Homo-oligomer: A and B are copies of this chain.
């Protein structure tokens, strides 16, 4: 708190300061590149509109999430669940960890640490901070609130238990298993008494799954000639629950290995976001095995957050859940960090540290 106060003092109230911001230069086709984004030098006045309930925050940690790719394409319909990023001037936004600099809101005061939706910029003025939450467990690294204690953690929790209804003794398969969501899914499934297998895109990640996250088995999908055979090898009795993060060929292979009355929680389909046309998947498999495939958005489970936060904080304290983060330094590194997700360059949850305090 002393450090936080000092930081605010360094910039006089009302002063206009530089505010570096990440904008989308153009709608993206195919795989995004750093050239699709630009870090521009904007400006921000250190003030909140008089009489408003706005807060001005300093962003500390930005979260890089694969779903952001889906916001980089123009959608002719309102089919996407969050608005597109408008190229040219709109600053990208996503969940971040931030610190209150100035507040017109009765619930927040300068120095408060929050997590919620902010811009990809150094400072954000949030007119109505309804999506900002206080950081209750400052005993953990603050960046955890972009991952294990934030949206990815709640996504894992809600998808595994509320959507897929995983139960003790079941076989659970997770794709993109070393990622922000996957690593938590696997550990929660293990704590529930499931047999847990994950796939990832490098031997290093597979090693993490087996040694650090306690998965029963794991494979590097890039080294498998036949995903169907890989699944049969690791899960000879089939899959009860699939936590779907990737889509395409992996989903097709999983469908062939699902058990009767299996459940697929569809969280994301990162292999599909950069394609013009989606890959074909044999959905007729759903029929013969009575498979339920259900998409979900974590926002529907916002009401479960407090319970989740306390449970997860306890697991972290007891060492029952661990997490691995990949932290890029400085807002200039944000575009490359985001793009890296689609090449699988991140090892663990990808964070951008804009400022440490």
Contact = CB atoms under 8 A, between A and B. Distances in A.
B290 A294 contact: yes
A18 interface: no
A81 B292 contact: no
A266 B287 contact: yes
Interface string A270-301: 00110001111111111111111111110010
Contact of A290 (B273, B278, B295): B295
A247 interface: yes
A238 to B, nearest CB: 11
Contacts of A279: 280
A191 B278 CA distance: 37
Contacts of A297: 287-288, 290
Interface residues of A, number: 36
Contact of A287 (B267, B287, B288, B292): B267
B300 A295 contact: no
Interface in A191-228: none
A277 B268 CA distance: 23
A268 B280 contact: no
A277 B282 CA distance: 8
A281 B281 contact: yes
A285 B268 CA distance: 10
A138 interface: no
A228 B284 CA distance: 22
Interface string A64-103: 0000001000000101110000000000000000000000
A105 interface: no
A284 B269 contact: yes
A251 interface: yes
B293 A286 contact: yes
A235 to B, nearest CB: 14
A280 to B, nearest CB: 4
Contact of A272 (B284, B294, B296, B300): B284
Contact of A283 (B278, B296, B300): B278
Nearest to A281: B278
A167 interface: no
Contact of A289 (B81, B280, B290, B293): B81
A345 interface: no
Contacts of A133: none
Nearest to A292: B294
A279 B277 CA distance: 10
B290 A296 contact: yes
Contacts of A292: 292-295
Interface in A246-273: 247, 251, 256, 266-269, 272-273
A294 to B, nearest CB: 4
A301 B80 CA distance: 36
A273 B286 CA distance: 14
Which 7 pairs between the two chains have the least Cβ-Cβ distance? A286-B295, A81-B288, A287-B295, A278-B280, A292-B294, A293-B293, A280-B280
Given A290-B296, A291-B295, A293-B293, 5 more contacts: A268-B284, A272-B284, A285-B295, A287-B297, A292-B295
